[in-house]
Amino acid sequence: MSVERWSTDQLGALADEWAAEREAFVAAVQAFVTRPATQPSVDQIRRLDVAASDAVFAAMGERLSAFLQTMDSTPWYTIQHRVAEHQRLLETQHGVALRADMAHLATLQPPAEATAPHEAVRQALALVQHILQLYTDLQGRFDFPSVRFANRLTSQIKYRLYPIRQHLPALQRYWLLAEADPAACEPPVAAPESGIQRYEAAGQRGAYTCYVPEAYHAGRAWPLLLTLHGGSGNDEDFLWTWLTYAKSRGYLLVSAKSFGPTWFPWDAPSLMFMLDEVQARYQVDPTRVLLTGLSDGGSFSYEVGFAWPKRFRGLAVVAGILRPHQRSEHASQLPVYVAHGAQDQLFPVAYIRMVVEKLREWGHNVTFHELAGCGHAYPPGENTAILHWFEGLSAAHPALDGPSPGGKGSSA
């Protein structure tokens, strides 16, 4: 279906459908974390001063950070055939201690200035317990919707903890790469326009979540990452795939949401509107914009990148396929990084090897990373290789808009 056949009202209806689903999910999570809990007796309550409160948060932050690292390092395909083992690992390494933290936190009365972090940690611990119970209820069986739901809850934990990371030193480190300079990435006073901000769909521009580094200032131009989630994914959850890298290496980050459950032709102009909006709002270096996506998002990034190649310095596709598309006459100037699992059963790697050869025939500078032992998923740490490649590209690249998908160009 062509882009022109979809009116603003029709796109709005798609956006409203997702917004309603999101609102229901967020409301359910909020109701769960704010439900009344059993209150300790008055003589069990311990009032904390600031120093004692900081010590409690630091210890709990260590354990929450370890839990998040475990969740990050075990993508669904790695536990597909060992759910029971994964459940035991979560329980033995994290469950006992984090449940004890939840019980202990209920007996503590923090100083007034620590009320907000106290509540955020309490909600995060409640969500951890929900995740642990989800895996217990699976009884060793793999159920993708349940695992996906657990991952969405993990994302909600991060949204509660990121704003209070200054109170939990381990979490400050969790959101930084090992080589990052904490003082540079976490200045004493964060830029007022920095942090995480979500923008609802408006007209023909879809929803997106934007992260601006705390060290941002308008005195220089910043590189930008435009990232596309996989099928049935969303902008808010996919943001965390890239935030640590953006924060540590100084990138603006835009995590885009498709109008529907996955990417279709009408989403292409939406992405251009997002770019225009962010470039108007912040100091963006138009010669250092990376377009990247996972699975369906990776497949769609081919189509967007090849239609508007001069809007991007590079294109990185993870676990995506090349579909018929409209190519700008300048498409072959766009360098491409392809990462694909050797054990991908959805998009076999033999086909991807042929795609890589075809891209090279068309004149693209292609880097291909075949991921041994990896299936159809995003391998932890692949972003490091992608950014190493991207930052090694020549800085010379025009920032002019390419022809539209229906304009001058060719089909492939």
Q: Which residues of 221-259 are buried (b: 16+ CB within 10 A; e: fewer)?
A: ebbbbbbbbbeebbbbbbbbbbbbbbbbbbbbbbbbbbb
pLDDT of residue 36: 85
Per-block mean pLDDT, blocks of 10 residues, the chain (412 long):
66 94 97 88 90 97 98 88 95 97 96 96 98 97 96 98 97 97 96 97 97 97 98 97 98 98 96 98 97 98 98 98 95 98 95 98 98 88 96 62 43 76
DSSP letter (8 states) at residue 289: E
Amino acid at position 58, single letter? A
Residue 353 C-alpha from the chain's centroid: 27
Q: For residue 2, is it within any domain? A: no
Instruction: For CA atoms 106, 110, 115, 118, give the dihedral sign.
Output: negative
Q: Which one, of 221, 351, 258, 256, lies nearest residue 368 by Cα?
A: 351
pLDDT tens-digit map of 281-319 = 999 999 999 999 999 999 999 999 999 999 999 999 999
The alpha-carbon radius of gyration of the chain (Å, integer) is: 22
Same domain, 377 and 269: yes
pLDDT reported for residue 395: 54
**Exposed / middle / buried, residue 391 (Cβ in 10 Å: 0-12, 13-18, 19+):** middle
3-state secondary structure of 252: strand
Domain membership of residue 23 (yes or no) is no
Burial 182-215 (b: 16+ CB within 10 A, else e): eeebbeeeeeeebebeebebeebbbbbbbbbbbb
Any domain includes 17: no
Name the amino acid, one letter, at 6: W
Q: Is residue 19 part of a domain?
A: no
Instruction: Decide which of 174, 196, 229 is a domain's last residue.
Output: 174
Question: Of the residues 174, 198, 224, which one is the last residue of a structural domain?
Answer: 174
* pTM, to two decimals: 0.94
CB neighbour list of residue 230: distance below 8 Å, 6 or more residues apart: 238, 262, 293, 294, 295, 296, 297, 298, 319
For residue 3, tell me if it sits in a domain.
no
DSSP structure string for 365-381: -EEEEEETT--SS--TT
Which H/E stretch holds residue 77? helix 76-79
Give me the CATH number covering residue 193.
Answer: 3.40.50.1820
The CA distance from 338 to 36, in Å, is 49
Range of 128's domain? Answer: 36-174
List the beta bridge partners of residue 338: 317, 368
Cβ–Cβ contacts within 10 Å for residue 358, how many?
Answer: 13
Q: Do 395 and 273 fall within a single domain?
A: yes
DSSP, collapsed to helix, strand or coil, labels residue 256 as strand
User: Do residues 100 and 205 share a domain?
Assistant: no
